[in-house]
C-alpha cells in the first residue's frame, strides 16, 4: 500500500478514536453505560440483548441496531417496548464512532441506564473500531464451531465479556469446550465466558449480574 493510502487510513482511525472517547465520556456523565455488542451473522445478538434487558428490569435501556440493510431486529425490539433506533450502513461492514455520535441525537437519553449498540454481524471488522463503548460484548454461537478464537483472534482479544449461545447445538457440530476456552485464554486471560440459550432466555442471570457490577464501577 502506498504511504498516502496508509496516512489516510491512519487518519480515519485517529479521528474515530477521538470521537469514541468523547461519546464514552458524554454518556458516562449522563449515567448511561454503553455496551458494544459484536458477533458473527446469526450468532444470536438480538435475542441475547432481549434476554439481558429482561434481566436488567430496573434499568432504563436503549438500543441502537446496526445493520447493513433491513430493520427486522428493530421492529422486534420496538414491539417489546424497548426504545430502539436503526442504523443502516448500506454496505459498510462495521459501525464507527462518527455514525454513533450522530445517531445518539435520535435517542431520548432521558434517564441513566444502559445503551446496547448491536454492531454489524461480522467477526472481523467491528473489533477494530471503538464506537464510544464502556465494554465490548462478544456473542458466539456454538454452531459456528469451537475454532473461532484461533481464526478470528482480535474479537476475542478485545472482548470484555463473551456469551456462548446455542449450546444445544454443540453435539451437532462436535463443539469442543476445552479447545474453545484454550483459544480464548491464549488471547485474553480474564474475559468471563457465560453459556446462555438466547432462544429460550436461559442462563443470563450471571451475565446480567456481571454487567450491573461493571456498570456500577464505570459510572459514578
Residues near its own copies (CB under 8 A): 4-5, 8, 12, 40-42, 67-70, 72, 91, 93, 120-125, 128, 141, 143-145, 147-148, 150-154, 166, 168-169, 172-173, 199
Helix, strand or coil, per DSSP, at residue 151: helix
Nearer to its own copies, 107 or 154 (CB): 154
Separation CA 180–CA 192 (nearest Å): 13
Q: Please, what is the minimum distance in Å from the beta carbon of residue 32 to its own copies?
A: 27
> By C-beta, is 6 or 218 nearer to its own copies?
6
- Looking at the Cβ atoms of 12 and 21, the one nearer to its own copies is 12
Question: For residues 58 and 174, which CB has a smaller minimum distance to its own copies in the complex?
Answer: 174
Nearer to its own copies, 66 or 113 (CB): 66
Shortest Cβ 152–its own copies spacing (Å): 6
Residue 5 backbone dihedrals phi, psi, to 5 degrees: -65, -40
Q: Least Å distance between CB 70 and its own copies? A: 4
Alpha-carbon Rg for the chain in angstroms: 17
The set of residues, in sequence order, having a beta carbon less than 8 Å from that of 161 and lying 6+ positions away, is 135, 136, 137, 138, 191, 192, 194, 207, 210, 211, 214
Geometric angle at alpha carbon 101, from 164 and 59, rounded to 5°: 50
Minimum CB separation from its own copies for residue 125, in Å?
Answer: 5
Mapped onto helix, strand or coil, the DSSP state of residue 85 is: strand
Is residue 122 within 8 A of residue 34, CB to CB? The reply is no
CA angle 76, 82, 86 (to 5 degrees): 65
**Residue at grid coordinates 438466547:** 198
* Smallest distance, its own copies to C-beta of residue 134, A: 24
Counts of helices then strands in the chain (DSSP H, E): 8, 7
> Quick one: how far is CA 174 from the chain centroid?
26
Nearest approach, Cβ of residue 13 and its own copies (Å): 12
Nearer to its own copies by C-beta: 150 or 210? 150
Amino acid at each position: 500500500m502506498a504511504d498516502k493510502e496508509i496516512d489516510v487510513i491512519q487518519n480515519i482511525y485517529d479521528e474515530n478514536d477521538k470521537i469514541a472517547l468523547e461519546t464514552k465520556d458524554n454518556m458516562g456523565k449522563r449515567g448511561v453505560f454503553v455496551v458494544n455488542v459484536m458477533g458473527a451473522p446469526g450468532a444470536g445478538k438480538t435475542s441475547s440483548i432481549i434476554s439481558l434487558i429482561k434481566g436488567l428490569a430496573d434499568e432504563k435501556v436503549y438500543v441502537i441496531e446496526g445493520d447493513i440493510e433491513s430493520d427486522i431486529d428493530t421492529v422486534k425490539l420496538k414491539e417489546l417496548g424497548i426504545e430502539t433506533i436503526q442504523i443502516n450502513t448500506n454496505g459498510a461492514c462495521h459501525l464507527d464512532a462518527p455514525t454513533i455520535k450522530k445517531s445518539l441525537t435520535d435517542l431520548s437519553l432521558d434517564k441513566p441506564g444502559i445503551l446496547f449498540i448491536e454492531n454489524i454481524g461480522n467477526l472481523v471488522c467491528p473489533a477494530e473500531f471503538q464506537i464510544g463503548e464502556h465494554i465490548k460484548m462478544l456473542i458466539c454461537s456454538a454452531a459456528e464451531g469451537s475454532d473461532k478464537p484461533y481464526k478470528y483472534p482480535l474479537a476475542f482479544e478485545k472482548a470484555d465479556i463473551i456469551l456462548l449461545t446455542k449450546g444445544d447445538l454443540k453435539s451437532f457440530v462436535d463443539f469442543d469446550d476445552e479447545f474453545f476456552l484454550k483459544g480464548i485464554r491464549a488471547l485474553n486471560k480474564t474475559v468471563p465466558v457465560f453459556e446462555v440459550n438466547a432462544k429460550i432466555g436461559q442462563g443470563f442471570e450471571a451475565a446480567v449480574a456481571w454487567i450491573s457490577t461493571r456498570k456500577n464501577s464505570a459510572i459514578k
